[in-house]
Amino acid sequence: MRAARLHGARDVRIEDVPAPKPGPGEALVRVRAVCICPSDWRMYVDGHAGGVAPDRPIIQGHEFAGEIVAFGPGVEPSRPGLDVSARVAVEPSWPCGTCDLCQAGRGNICRNVRFPSFPPVDGALAEYIACPISALAVMPDILSFEEGALAEPLGVSMHAVRLADPQPGHTICILGAGVIGMGCLVLSQARRAGEITMVEPVAARQTLPVHRGVHQVAASYLELVQRGYEADIVLECSGDSAALDQAVRLARPGGRIVVVGIPRDERITFDMSIARRRELTVVFSRRSHETIVEAVDLLASRRVDFAELPMRRYALEDAEDALIATGRAGEALRAVVLP
């Protein structure tokens, strides 16, 4: 099959590699759409993720949807509609199911979690990928494969908003109006949160939240702080290395911060004195957790409508261009590769 493999920093090659064989408990999926995550871009630019570099060329891509073409040996499709030719979205965090954390119902922080796009598991920038059937959600026909690929980042927002647990009337500040921030906006609205503010410095990204009914969009956190603004809950979705410090300044005493964005720097600083005096709760959020079915349902219900998010499309041959475009915060919210 054709695949885009990362050989090192800024080195993506389109190659012929053997198609994966689905194992027990797995389905073989013909990939139809892969959205490029900012974390893919960072891995592409740096050649490593969080200081860990792949020990072999790796296929990237973890936000994807496609069609089931085969099942592994002995797999009995366990859910209605989960058959050959079913259109599926995929939750790319694959827990072991047996460790203490999986047993405690926290599979997203499984000790042995597998994640496509990091060894030993190749990602989806290829024609085929083998996936555990437990990670699949059947998509109705009204959803495009591109929308299906966005079910993963929506699931990340869903997990973050669950951790934030906004109550009716809570004021919320969301840092970053990318896909994750937009997901947090609509999910917070659905929970009848109070006034929601977004901070987004990129002008091209400031209009969509306004269309979605956000109360205000600020170009910088500073203008909010100078006005004496404070929020019950701050959701950090920008991945900026300065954002945790900004979140601390934006949270009201007793407030809660949920950190979703992944900063490029492995060590960051924040104002400890403010955080302590305000007795803030800071929660770090890891990927998504059993959210894919609900995310697909939400997208299909159009209560969360991602069909109008600005996307730019690329062929598999141009996967490197899609990665490069993801590093330019601009008009498109996601580059999507159609293998």
Binding site for Zn ion (CB under 5 A): 37, 95-96, 99, 102, 110
- Measured from the CB atom, the residue of 110 and 258 that comes closer to Zn ion is 110
> Closest approach of Cβ 259 to Zn ion, in Å?
15
Phi, psi of 258 (to 5 degrees): -115, 120
**67 within 8 A of 107, measured Cβ to Cβ:** no
Pick from 174, 169, 228: nearest CA to 198: 174
Four-residue CA torsion sign, 190, 66, 97, 262: negative
Distance CA 176, CA 206 (A): 10
> Closest approach of Cβ 110 to Zn ion, in Å?
3
> Closest approach of Cβ 163 to Zn ion, in Å?
17
> Closest approach of Cβ 139 to Zn ion, in Å?
18
> Closest approach of Cβ 253 to Zn ion, in Å?
33
> Closest approach of Cβ 267 to Zn ion, in Å?
22
The encoded tokens of residue 198 equal: 């977004």
> Closest approach of Cβ 168 to Zn ion, in Å?
30
Give yes or no for a cis peptide into 120 (omega within 30° of 0).
yes
The encoded tokens of residue 243 equal: 């954002």
Please count the other Cβ atoms lying within 10 Å of the Cβ belonging to residue 308: 9
3-state helix, strand, coil in the chain (%, to 5): 30, 25, 45
Find the distance separating the first CA and the last CA of the chain, reported in whole Å: 10
- Measured from the CB atom, the residue of 150 and 224 that comes closer to Zn ion is 150
- Measured from the CB atom, the residue of 63 and 127 that comes closer to Zn ion is 63
- Measured from the CB atom, the residue of 91 and 127 that comes closer to Zn ion is 91
CA-to-CA separations, 117 to 49, 121, 125, 292, 336, in angstroms, rounded:
11, 6, 9, 18, 16
Say whether 35 sits in a helix, a strand or coil.
Answer: strand
Pick from 29, 33, 37: nearest CA to 60: 37
- Measured from the CB atom, the residue of 262 and 272 that comes closer to Zn ion is 262
- Measured from the CB atom, the residue of 9 and 262 that comes closer to Zn ion is 262
